[in-house]
């Protein structure tokens, strides 16, 4: 089975000259985000010069100035570089898990289990952390410029992985199969994940509704919209999947109805986990996987045209990927600035969010990706928490 067959001719949306090439870029992280997410790091410029010199560049002076501006506007907790990327740990990270960043109106929306002060908090057995809620960065907000999304989105169980419509008035997000203050379990006794949507009304997110292709029997999760909002990508373990979780695509019609979800095929999906898809403002597909060759755990991959057979999957390599789990990658290709989450060593919490700056064009990076010398196989069993809630 090929990717072309599974998408019925829609596959090349994420290549150059795609159907989304005329769409407006996703919202950029602005100065407000940078002010509250980072601290001053101008003194790191000298240490960055060596990185700039080995990067593939057209104008050396301009590239040095670009890297200097990136570093001096942000606050570094941890700093790593390669010929292709600079990465930094964000100040907004907590001692618990922070992950799944998404662009929204010049800010970041992300998932976090930092809500440990609530009187009704419930801890997850495998992390001993509260369930995650959706948060947003913003100016003049206490606690490092972070607050919860307003409205009916957050419950006492998991919400994560938000993606926003082009007009920013609709959000799709992941939640446990929980409604009317009750869990719904599948025939095996587990609580699955579902994708929900909400509308922005008078400053709050309201009108929460479950997407019609969700199921009580299997999970669908981690939605990502194409730049024009016509297609949604997500992860699922629905019948017919190749592995523990696969990537799927579904069309969103103008009247608000949905097409039939389609598997992206066995060239992308493996016997392992493919999850956390993301479509950049230029239509490039990124995702996390532990089934393709990588450095260990979940690695971040991208799909780009190659020079012979049409397209290929490329591992982003270090420092984006590590021997731990690296996932929920997003990037704005207009300014080559992005974010991702990782539970790598020396982080502040269980999962931390990192900022990253791409130093070379993706097509050049494709031809100079780091060699992956080994493939790490993971134990694929899902271990449910006390409430028997699945996660992938």
7 belongs to a structural domain: yes
**Interatomic CA distance for residues 108 and 38, integer angstroms:** 13
Of 1-5, 88-92, 146-150, 346-350, the one with minimum mean pLDDT is 1-5
Res. 143 pLDDT band, cuts 50 70 90: low
Interval 287-343: pLDDT, tens: 999 999 888 899 999 999 887 878 899 999 889 999 999 999 999 999 999 999 999
346 belongs to a structural domain: yes
Of 46-60, 149-163, 321-335, the one with minimum mean pLDDT is 46-60
57 belongs to a structural domain: no
312 belongs to a structural domain: yes
Q: State residue 147's pLDDT score.
A: 93
Q: State residue 189's pLDDT score.
A: 59
Q: Rounded mean pLDDT of 362-391? A: 48
Q: Which element (helix H / strand E) includes 305?
A: strand 299-305
**Interatomic CA distance for residues 204 and 280, integer angstroms:** 26
164 belongs to a structural domain: no
Q: State residue 28's pLDDT score.
A: 27
Q: Rounded mean pLDDT of 198-206? A: 95
Res. 2 pLDDT band, cuts 50 70 90: very low
Q: Which two tokens stand for residue 45?
A: 């410029």
pTM listed for this prediction:
0.75
245 belongs to a structural domain: yes
105 belongs to a structural domain: yes
Q: In the predicted model, what is the mean pLDDT of the chain?
A: 75
**Interatomic CA distance for residues 334 and 324, integer angstroms:** 29
**Interatomic CA distance for residues 320 and 58, integer angstroms:** 23
Q: Which element (helix H / strand E) includes 112?
A: strand 107-112
Q: Rounded mean pLDDT of 12-35? A: 29
Q: State residue 14's pLDDT score.
A: 31
Sequence-separated contacts (24+) of 1-10 with Cβ below 8 Å: 1/265, 1/266, 2/265, 2/267, 3/264, 3/265, 3/267, 3/268, 3/311, 4/265, 5/265, 6/262, 6/263, 6/264, 6/265, 7/249, 7/262, 7/264, 7/265, 8/262, 10/231, 10/249, 10/251
Counting the structural domains of the chain, the total is 1
Of 34-38, 39-43, 244-248, 354-358, the one with minimum mean pLDDT is 39-43
Q: Is residue 206 within 8 Å of residue 151, measured between CB atoms?
A: yes
Q: Rounded mean pLDDT of 244-271? A: 96
Selection from 215, 176, 240 nearest residue 391 by Cα: 176
313 belongs to a structural domain: yes
Choose between 78 and 17: higher pLDDT.
Answer: 78
* Domain containing residue 347: 3-39+74-154+224-366
**Interatomic CA distance for residues 75 and 259, integer angstroms:** 44
Buried b (16+ CB within 10 A) or exposed e, 190-226: bbbbbbbbbebeeeebeebeebebbeeebbbbbbbbb
Selection from 248, 197, 243 nearest residue 220 by Cα: 248
Q: What percent of the chain has pLDDT over 70?
A: 66
The single residue listed with the structure tokens 């006390």 is: 386
Q: State residue 55's pLDDT score.
A: 35
**Interatomic CA distance for residues 335 and 333, integer angstroms:** 5
Residue 357 has pLDDT above 50, yes or no: yes
Interval 68-122: pLDDT, tens: 343 333 333 445 667 789 999 999 999 999 999 999 999 999 999 997 555 444 5
Choose between 157 and 355: higher pLDDT.
Answer: 355
**Interatomic CA distance for residues 302 and 278, integer angstroms:** 9
Q: Order the strands of the 79-81 sheet from edge to edge.
A: 79-81, 85-89, 352-358, 337-342, 326-332
**Interatomic CA distance for residues 365 and 17, integer angstroms:** 19
């Amino acid at each position: 089975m090929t990717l072309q067959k599974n998408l019925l001719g829609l596959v090349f949306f994420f290549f150059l000259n795609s159907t989304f090439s005329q769409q407006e870029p996703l919202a950029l992280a602005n100065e407000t985000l940078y002010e509250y997410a980072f601290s001053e790091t101008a003194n790191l410029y000298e240490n960055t010069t060596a990185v700039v010199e080995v990067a593939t560049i057209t104008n050396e002076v301009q590239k040095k100035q670009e890297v200097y501006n990136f570093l001096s506007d942000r606050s570094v907790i941890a700093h790593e570089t390669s010929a292709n990327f600079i990465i930094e740990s964000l100040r907004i990270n907590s001692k618990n898990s922070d992950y799944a960043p998404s662009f929204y109106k010049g800010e970041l929306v992300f998932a976090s289990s930092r809500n440990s002060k609530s009187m009704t908090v419930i801890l997850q057995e495998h992390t001993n952390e509260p369930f995650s809620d959706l948060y947003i960065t913003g100016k003049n907000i206490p606690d490092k410029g972070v607050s919860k999304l307003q409205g009916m989105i957050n419950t006492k169980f998991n919400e994560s992985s938000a993606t926003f419509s082009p007009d920013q008035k609709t959000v799709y997000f992941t939640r446990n199969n929980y409604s009317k203050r009750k869990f719904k379990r599948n025939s095996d006794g587990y609580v699955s994940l579902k994708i929900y949507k909400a509308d922005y009304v008078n400053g709050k997110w309201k009108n929460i509704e479950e997407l019609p292709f969700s199921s009580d029997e299997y999970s669908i999760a981690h939605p990502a919209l194409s730049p024009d909002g016509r297609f949604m990508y997500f992860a699922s373990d629905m019948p017919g999947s190749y592995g523990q979780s696969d990537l799927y695509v579904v069309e969103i019609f103008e009247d608000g109805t949905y097409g039939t979800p389609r598997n992206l095929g066995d060239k992308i999906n493996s016997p392992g986990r493919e999850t956390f898809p993301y479509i950049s403002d230029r239509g490039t597909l990124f995702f996390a996987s532990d089934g393709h060759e990588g450095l260990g755990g979940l690695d971040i991959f991208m799909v780009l045209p190659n020079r012979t057979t049409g397209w290929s999957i490329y591992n982003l390599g270090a420092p984006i990927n590590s021997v731990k789990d690296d996932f929920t990658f997003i990037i704005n290709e207009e300014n080559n600035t992005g974010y991702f989450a990782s539970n790598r060593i020396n982080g502040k919490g269980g999962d931390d969010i990192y900022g990253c700056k791409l130093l070379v064009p993706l097509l050049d990076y494709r031809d100079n990706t780091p060699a992956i010398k080994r493939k790490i196989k993971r134990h694929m069993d899902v271990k449910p928490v006390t409430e028997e809630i699945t996660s992938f």
